Amino acid sequence: VWQQRPPWWHRDRNMKSITCSIPDSLYCALQSRLATEGATLDHVVSTLLGQSVGQSFHTLFQVSTSAALVEGLYQGAVRVSKLLEHGDFGLGTFVDLDGEMVVLEGKVYQVTASGEVGEVEGDRLIPYAVVTRFRADIEIGGAIFADFTALTEACDGRRTSDNLFYAFRVDGVFQLVQTRVMRTVAAGVSLGTAATGQANFNFENIRGTLIGLWAPGYAGAFIVPGYHFHFLSEDRKSGGHVLDCRARDLTLQACSISELHVSLPKTSEFLQADLTRDPNQQLISAERSHSPEK
| Shorter beta-carbon distance to Zn ion: residue 224 or 255 | 224
Q: Is 241 in the site for Zn ion (CB under 5 A)?
A: yes
| Shorter beta-carbon distance to Zn ion: residue 169 or 241 | 241
Own/partner pairs, 271-279, CB within 8 angstroms, 24+ separation: 273/68, 273/71, 273/73, 274/71, 275/65, 275/67, 275/68, 275/71, 277/67, 277/70, 277/71, 278/220, 278/221, 279/66, 279/67, 279/69, 279/70, 279/71, 279/220, 279/221
Nearest by Cα to 86 from 39, 126, 35, 33: 126
Number of residues in contact with Zn ion, rule: CB under 5 A? 1
State the minimum distance, in angstroms, from the CB of residue 94 to Zn ion.
Answer: 12
State the minimum distance, in angstroms, from the CB of residue 287 to Zn ion.
Answer: 6
Q: Which stretch binds Zn ion (CB under 5 A): 6-14, 185-193, 202-210, 241-249?
A: 241-249
State the minimum distance, in angstroms, from the CB of residue 103 to Zn ion.
Answer: 12
| Shorter beta-carbon distance to Zn ion: residue 135 or 241 | 241
How far is the C-alpha of 143 from the C-alpha of 99, rounded, in Å?
A: 29
Nearest by Cα to 144 from 291, 249, 25, 8: 249
Q: Which stretch binds Zn ion (CB under 5 A): 13-21, 211-219, 236-244, 265-273?
A: 236-244
Q: Which stretch binds Zn ion (CB under 5 A): 54-62, 82-90, 135-143, 235-243?
A: 235-243
Residue 93 contacts residue 215 (beta carbons within 8 Å): no
| Shorter beta-carbon distance to Zn ion: residue 158 or 241 | 241
State the minimum distance, in angstroms, from the CB of residue 241 to Zn ion.
Answer: 3
Q: Judging by DSSP bridges, how do beta strands 259-263 and 199-215 pair with one another?
A: unpaired
State the minimum distance, in angstroms, from the CB of residue 91 to Zn ion.
Answer: 6
Binding residues (CB under 5 A) for Zn ion: these are 241
